[in-house]
């Protein structure tokens, strides 16, 4: 099990390969990759609106929260291994922000645990997005009620 909070990009292929390397009891790896997008459907803004995102985080608490979320996933599902990588700093559209991956003997556990980790991460990990937009400059992204609802499903 592993949590990394870093400024640098990551190599999805290498990370997923490493997750199951040497464990032939693993039947499947499920992963989610979050990307910076350049549009803002909630605000009715189309492609090209978001020029960049800057992610701020609470160093120390971030790692603790992510480790607690990962531990909770491993308590709920039989995972052979798991990984959370979350970036901070400035990123442009198309760049990778987050990778969550779960490996298990069976696909069900891997799928569910991956979704659970993302849902809890969205509402518990102390990150904040500052958007640089072409419409009105820099603005902080608001939390979404739909994310709260998604996280509550697992409680």
CB of 106 to another protein, least distance (A): 25
x/- track of binding to another protein for residues 85-124 (CB under 8 A): -x----------xx-------------------x--xxxx
Neighbours of 139 (CB within 10 A): 15
From edge to edge, which strands make up the β-sheet containing 2-6? 2-6, 79-87, 96-104, 28-35
- CB nearer another protein, residue 46 or residue 60: 60
x/- track of binding to another protein for residues 11-30 (CB under 8 A): --------------------
Q: Is 34 in the site for another protein (CB under 8 A)?
A: yes
- CB nearer another protein, residue 20 or residue 49: 49
- CB nearer another protein, residue 19 or residue 69: 69
Q: Is 76 in the site for another protein (CB under 8 A)?
A: no
CB of 147 to another protein, least distance (A): 8
CA–CA separation, 8 vs 27, rounded Å? 30
Window contacting another protein (CB under 8 A); options: 14-22, 42-50, 74-82, 125-133: 125-133
- Determine the size of the site formed for another protein (CB under 8 A): 26
Which residues contribute to the site for another protein (CB under 8 A)?
34, 55-58, 60-61, 64, 86, 97-98, 118, 121-130, 140-143
């Amino acid at each position: 099990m592993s949590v990394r909070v870093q400024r640098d990009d990551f190599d999805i292929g290498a990370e997923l390969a490493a997750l199951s390397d040497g464990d032939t009891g693993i039947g499947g790896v499920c992963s989610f990759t979050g990307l910076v997008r350049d549009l803002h459907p909630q605000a009715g803004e189309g492609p090209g609106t978001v020029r960049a995102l800057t992610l701020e985080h609470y160093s120390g608490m971030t790692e603790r929260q992510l480790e607690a979320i990962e531990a909770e996933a491993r308590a709920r599902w039989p995972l052979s291994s798991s990984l959370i990588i979350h970036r901070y700093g400035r990123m442009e559209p198309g760049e990778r922000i987050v990778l969550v991956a779960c490996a298990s003997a069976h696909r069900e556990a891997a799928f569910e645990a991956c979704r659970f980790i993302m849902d809890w991460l969205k509402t518990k990990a102390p990150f904040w997005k500052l958007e640089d937009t072409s419409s009105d400059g820099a603005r902080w992204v608001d939390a979404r009620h739909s994310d709260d609802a998604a996280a509550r499903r697992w409680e």
